Amino acid sequence: MVSDPILHAFTNLLIWLPVLLFLGSVSFYYHKDFIFSITGVNEVTRKEEPFIYNTVENLCISRGLKTPNIGIIEDNKLNAFAIGWNDKNSWIVFTRGLIENLTKKEIQAVAAHELTHIKNKDNLLILIIILFIGVIKTLGEAIIRSLRYNSSGNKGGIYFFIIGTVLLIVGHIIFPFVQLAITKSREFLADAGAVELTKDKDSMISALKKIQKEKNSLSLEEKSIYHMYIENPSSKNGWTNSHPSIEDRIKALESY
């Protein structure tokens, strides 16, 4: 057993860092497969779903963008999300309920909102933030656990205890709130991007109203990716919600 708490802390870090790097790499490269396994996304072609495919493609052509892959979730909820940040791995996913209950212009507005997320590389930004938060929390826990061997109360152990505690506070409290603030700001930007692409703020507003009125709910598995949806109905408005309130988003849209 290592008796020096400082040496033990460094040993823990050397053990955990490769693990964290491996897990981070897996999350980075396979997050699409994880998301699709949770939501049950089915890829669709122009032949299978000409309306939704052409809607997205026309938006992309108008801006000189490559058309992303299109997916549909056979679910009555009214929701949509985008993943990816380049031409090769980007997807826009719609629920069947959204396609069947929104007008053509409203669907176009939602598609433009999600396309803006891809253009702004929002999925990459949030993924990096989530991975960074995980690293900070794990390092803090590794340091604190290593100090259970410290019986001497030397200054080195005290310094490591302070560092570990700060990392835990940052990882569990501060950075998650930073993440929420960033995801909220990106939703406002995506709404604005939808108006820029479609020149039609009224359709974006009416789409949001319909989505809010539907009172969607997310399954336990879906809650792990709540930040990706166009609207997160699973938590109340406030600091703990990943999205701005529909009322605030509409107010911002009306100002354009």
Is 254 marked active-site?
no
For residue 160, the one-letter residue type is F
3-state SS assignment for residue 43: strand
CB of 210 within 8 A of CB of 106? yes
| Rounded distance between C-alpha atoms, residue 18 and residue 235, angstroms | 35
Q: Which two tokens stand for residue 203?
A: 């359709």
Determine if residue 125 is left, alpha or beta; phi over 0 gives left, psi from -120 to 50 gives alpha, anything else beta: alpha
CA distances to 51, 121, 225, 255 from 93, rounded to whole Å, are 14, 16, 13, 28
DSSP SS3 for 153: coil
Active-site choice (114, 187, 222, 231): 114
Question: What DSSP string describes 178-211?
Answer: HHHHHHHHHHHHHHHHHHHHHS-HHHHHHHHHHH
Structure tokens at 99: 């396609």
Phi and psi of 101, rounded to 5°? -110, -10
Task: Just list the catalytic residues.
Answer: 114
